[in-house]
A and B are shown apart, each in its own frame.
Chain A
Amino acid sequence: MEPEEQTPETPIEQEEQAPQTPVVQQEPIAEPPVEPDEEAPETPPTPDSEELRIGVFVCHCGTNIGGFVDVPAVVEYVKTLPNVAFARDNLYTCAEDGLTAIRDAIKEHKLNRVIVASCTPRTHAPLFQGVCEEAGLNKYLFEFANIREQCSWVHMKEKEDATRKAKDLIKSSVSKAALLVPQEEMKVDVVPRSLVIGGGVAGLSAALSVARQGFDVHLVEKEGVLGGFTRNLNSLSLGDKSAEDTIKPLIEHVQAHENITVHLNSQVESVSGFIGNFDTTIVTNGSSKEVKVGTIIVATGALEYIPEGLYGYGMYDNVVTLTEFEILCKSGKLPKIKNVAFIQCVGSRGQDKSYCSRICCVISIKNALYITENFAEIMGEEGAERVEVDVSVPEISSRRRRRRRMVSAEGEAAPGPAPTGGPEITIFNRDVTTYGADHEVYYNKAREKRIRFVRYTTDNLPKVTQEGDKLVVNYYHETLKTERKLQADMVVLATPLIAPPDAADLSKKLKIPIGRDGFFLEAHMKLRPIDFATDGIFVCGTARGPADITESVAQGLGTASRAAIPMARGFIQAEAILAQVDPEICTGCGTCEANCPYGAIRLSDDGVAEVLAAACKGCGCCGATCPEKAIQMMNYTDDQLLAQGRSILQGAM
């Protein structure tokens, strides 16, 4: 096989049909199939019968580009490129006069492709695409060249090279623009119904909020009761009501709401479809029910880490986890205890799990305070405060740290149980994470109550042993640099919240990602914290990582509002960067179906692959592995990518 000839890319002009305005094709199927036939003459690819008229707008971006790239020279070069009908520079293309220049040029010069060479498409493509549409040009006929972030800003000392690179990058975009094809975005109706998976505080809040916005909700809970993890808890930090009383109204409102159908003892068996049209199957005690929903909220919660084999857990009865401690308190089974040691960060922060569970410091302090308040009579003299803490300036962290160190040393002045026979509550910690104003006050309150905070490091973990019938915590005192012992009636281990093992199963059913630690992974850490990359599916509460009730509720309400957007609108517009199957070439082998992470391509009854446009995200994985090369990605076709690559290999000049 001979290498393909590189003929100059001049378009075949068909005068008779050259339209005055760009024609938006009704059928975007017009993408010419790739012909691997080596005999085929190198006909310049013309997606339309119309003459190609590319307009290029090169931005100075003030001096951001203009200072490091010779923009006028670039413009002169661009004018010589094939199919370029118009090129100019702008001081700021994204400013109003820059946008007007694009609009005017499209009309005046009958441009049917537009390229902006400026910053990054990641931030500015939508703006320029919008301008193209205003001027009657399909937005998929717009192409970007990034000559700021990927050129002028990174080659600030090599103006000549940077100028040449800018030329190359624009040339590459021009070669792609010549092959662009207009695309129609598809409108898909959205079923005004939500599926909420998980009946804990996050799911309850989400369900109630969606229902109150006027949409139907199906709430699926795998247990026989609503309330989730919170049902284990005795009291809540910063609240005077019990955990049960706190969430009771929420549960009652959910149960009473006419828009909400609660499925207890139920699981989501299968999910297919895409935003607006998910087909789900809910299984309750063996019988299944089909429900069609428009959006899905994942609120499946978390479990407590069981510290098997750590600090005597499982060996000594009086070594319990934080949650077990809550359960003991709640059921009134907590023995009369005087000396309690809390050990923080058990199994977290690098021990087994890598992350900090965030909420355990506050919970341990809450429980320590609970002991001092409810077992006061056996806890010795309450008023014997030795440490005066100024709670009015809690924000300065360096100060807090210094104080904590000082206080730890001081609190440790009397080793072992206090001679008065009074209370000894010790919180062994690596760092105390009582973030936020309220929690810091809580921490200070604990200090006032003479709860001791003793720091340990991972080099010297405390050890729990039993001497006689007493538990003993052996630890290394970081300040005094000595080994010490502490007798304890009970040792409470603060273990992290962990992702439930069935999360992986749900992840597969819903095609939503799981992060390194097994929690669900949001679409964007900062800007899209409760969305999934898959449209129409949202996540809230501890399913996405350790969170307290306030945060879980806030996230639940957040997902409800996110889910309401497409449902209130009634339809979605599917982006047209899609896989497209050529049914003539497809042999129905199903490789694409096996590769699609969204279930967006499947074998139709005709035995060829079909794309579910609303579900396809346009990644292109299917196309790059299709054994027959029957799949192309719109806007990223093989021809377009190869044209870009080839123009780069030829280089400017």
Chain B
Amino acid sequence: MTEFEPKIVGFLCNWCSYAGADLAGVSRYQYPPEIRIIRVMCSARVDPMIVLTLFKEGADGIMIGGCHIGDCHYISGNYHTEKRAFVIRRLMEKAGLEVDRFRLEWISASEGERFASTVAEFTEKIKELGPSKVMEDSDLASRVGAAVDTSLDFRIRALLGHEVGMIEDGNVYGEKKTEDEMREIIDAAIEDEFRRSLILEITSSKPASAKELSQVTKLPTDRIVEHIATLRQKNLLAVDHIEGMTPYYVALRVGGD
């Protein structure tokens, strides 16, 4: 059996981290070869959906590299990246994926050595964690799938998009929220939407009762029933059939024809 070679994807912003990686090269700082880099213009370009999708498809580790806070080529992009990283980590937690498989690093164009040492350290960490189990563990896969769906949820994305504005400028009435308050709001939203996505994920392959859903999601039945009500209201879930007194639910497909 050959040694585990982790699949690590690095998204680096063109202006700082990618340039830092270039500098590591120019300076001949050696680092482990597993990482594969994808260039983006700004770290803020990396949609959480992309990170989570790649995890769903078997990535062992994903790193996003951006400019240091305050040095963003696009003024404030990395500030947004940081907010998104929070959501990525939360969803990984909820899906049961090791949070350490994801890393966000600020690396400037002048930090070639730091880039090399960061990659070395991250690669080591991923090797410690071992291969991602997403491909063989179908439960994990469906939870990560639910995480991807959650990252595409309108409410989560809208909240994320307005987070910085709510903290700095407030809403239309001028009411501001603190960073912690926003985190709390987003946290609660993620929890709800993730559970709902998971219910849809599970019921899309096979009808399930509230009790079964409660067992799989480890949520109390009354919370499940609330989610079911919401999903039915949104026309995303319907009763498939009734066994005795127990309704079995199935996810409705949206979009398409």
Instruction: Show the binding face of A for B, using Cβ within 8 Å.
Output: 1-3, 35-40, 120-122, 144, 146, 148-151, 153-158, 161-162, 164-165, 168-169, 172, 511-513, 515-516, 521, 533, 577, 589, 591-592, 594-595, 597-598, 617-621, 623-629, 633, 636, 638, 641-642, 644-646, 648-649, 651
| CB-defined contacts of A144 to chain B, threshold 8 Å | 39
| CB-defined contacts of B45 to chain A, threshold 8 Å | 619-621, 623-624, 633, 636, 641
How far in angstroms is the closest Cβ of chain A from B195? 16
How far in angstroms is the closest Cβ of chain A from B88? 12
Which residue from B33, B59, B80, B255 sits with its C-beta under 8 Å from A621?
B80
Cross-chain contact A165 with B161 (CB below 8 angstroms): no
How far in angstroms is the closest Cβ of chain B from A78? 16
Cross-chain contact A624 with B36 (CB below 8 angstroms): no
| CB-defined contacts of B231 to chain A, threshold 8 Å | none
- 8 Å CB contacts to A: which residues of B23-58? 24-26, 28-31, 33, 36-42, 44-50, 53-54, 56-58
Which of the 9-residue segments B68-76, B212-220, B240-248 touches chain A? B68-76
How far in angstroms is the closest Cβ of chain B from A232? 31
How far in angstroms is the closest Cβ of chain B from A508? 10
CA distance A36 to B197 in the complex (A): 15
Which residue from B53, B58, B70, B145 sits with its C-beta under 8 Å from A516?
B70
Q: Please judge, given known A-B contacts A618-B41, A641-B38, whether A627 and B157 are in contact too, CB under 8 Å.
A: yes
Q: Please judge, given known A-B contacts A533-B74, A623-B45, A649-B54, whether A594 and B161 are in contact too, CB under 8 Å.
A: yes
Cross-chain contact B19 with A153 (CB below 8 angstroms): no
Cross-chain contact B42 with A154 (CB below 8 angstroms): no
Pairs across A and B, CB under 8 Å, 18 listed: A1-B201, A36-B152, A40-B256, A148-B25, A149-B25, A150-B22, A154-B31, A513-B72, A515-B70, A589-B158, A591-B157, A595-B164, A619-B41, A619-B45, A627-B154, A633-B45, A636-B40, A645-B38
Q: Please judge, given known A-B contacts A1-B201, A146-B37, A150-B37, whether A619 and B44 are in contact too, CB under 8 Å.
A: yes
A512 to B, closest residue via Cβ: B75
Cross-chain contact A3 with B22 (CB below 8 angstroms): no
Number of B interface residues in the complex (CB < 8 A)? 66
Cross-chain contact A1 with B116 (CB below 8 angstroms): no
| CB-defined contacts of A151 to chain B, threshold 8 Å | 25, 33
Cross-chain contact B26 with A642 (CB below 8 angstroms): no
CA distance A105 to B66 in the complex (A): 37
| CB-defined contacts of B36 to chain A, threshold 8 Å | 165, 168-169, 172, 648
CA distance A169 to B201 in the complex (A): 33
Cross-chain contact A619 with B25 (CB below 8 angstroms): no
Cross-chain contact B204 with A645 (CB below 8 angstroms): no
CA distance A595 to B50 in the complex (A): 19
How far in angstroms is the closest Cβ of chain B from A597? 4
| CB-defined contacts of A648 to chain B, threshold 8 Å | 7, 9, 36, 38
Instruction: Show the binding face of B for A, using Cβ within 8 Å.
Output: 7, 9, 11, 14, 18-19, 21-22, 24-26, 28-31, 33, 36-42, 44-50, 53-54, 56-59, 70-77, 80, 84, 116, 141, 145, 149, 152, 154-155, 157-158, 160-162, 164-165, 201, 204-205, 253, 255-256
Q: Please judge, given known A-B contacts A165-B36, A625-B157, whether A1 and B80 are in contact too, CB under 8 Å.
A: no
How far in angstroms is the closest Cβ of chain B from A272? 16
Q: Please judge, given known A-B contacts A589-B158, A626-B157, whether A651 and B57 are in contact too, CB under 8 Å.
A: no
Q: Please judge, given known A-B contacts A1-B204, A533-B75, whether A636 and B33 are in contact too, CB under 8 Å.
A: no
A640 to B, closest residue via Cβ: B38
Q: A37-B255, A153-B28, A156-B30 are in contact. List 13 more A-B contacts (CB 8 A).
A: A146-B22, A149-B25, A150-B22, A169-B36, A597-B76, A624-B44, A625-B80, A625-B160, A628-B154, A636-B41, A641-B46, A642-B50, A642-B54
CA distance A21 to B246 in the complex (A): 64
Cross-chain contact B161 with A591 (CB below 8 angstroms): yes
Q: Please judge, given known A-B contacts A157-B30, A619-B42, A645-B50, whether A651 and B73 are in contact too, CB under 8 Å.
A: no
How far in angstroms is the closest Cβ of chain A from B47? 4
How far in angstroms is the closest Cβ of chain B from A304? 24
Cross-chain contact B162 with A638 (CB below 8 angstroms): no
Which residue from A594, A621, A627, A641 sits with its C-beta under 8 Å from B42?
A621
| CB-defined contacts of A515 to chain B, threshold 8 Å | 70
Cross-chain contact A36 with B74 (CB below 8 angstroms): no
| CB-defined contacts of A164 to chain B, threshold 8 Å | 33
| CB-defined contacts of A636 to chain B, threshold 8 Å | 40-41, 45
Cross-chain contact B28 with A594 (CB below 8 angstroms): no
Q: Please judge, given known A-B contacts A1-B201, A154-B29, whether A620 and B40 are in contact too, CB under 8 Å.
A: yes
How far in angstroms is the closest Cβ of chain B from A96? 24
Which residue from B14, B38, B39, B74 sits with its C-beta under 8 Å from A597?
B74
| CB-defined contacts of A595 to chain B, threshold 8 Å | 80, 161, 164
A38 to B, closest residue via Cβ: B253
Cross-chain contact A625 with B161 (CB below 8 angstroms): yes
| CB-defined contacts of A37 to chain B, threshold 8 Å | 255-256
How far in angstroms is the closest Cβ of chain B from A37? 4
CA distance A122 to B25 in the complex (A): 13
| CB-defined contacts of B84 to chain A, threshold 8 Å | 624-625
Cross-chain contact B77 with A619 (CB below 8 angstroms): yes
Query: Among A162, A638, A641, which residue has the most Cβ atoms of chain B within 10 A?
Result: A641
Cross-chain contact B152 with A629 (CB below 8 angstroms): yes
Cross-chain contact A591 with B152 (CB below 8 angstroms): no
Which residue from B59, B74, B160 sits with its C-beta under 8 Å from A617?
B74
| CB-defined contacts of B71 to chain A, threshold 8 Å | 521
CA distance A79 to B203 in the complex (A): 44
How far in angstroms is the closest Cβ of chain B from A445? 38
Cross-chain contact A154 with B28 (CB below 8 angstroms): yes
Which residue from B46, B75, B116, B157 sits with its C-beta under 8 Å from A513?
B75
Which residue from B7, B75, B164 sits with its C-beta under 8 Å from A651?
B7
| CB-defined contacts of A146 to chain B, threshold 8 Å | 22, 37, 39
CA distance A404 to B209 in the complex (A): 86
How far in angstroms is the closest Cβ of chain A from B189? 12
CA distance A628 to B47 in the complex (A): 13
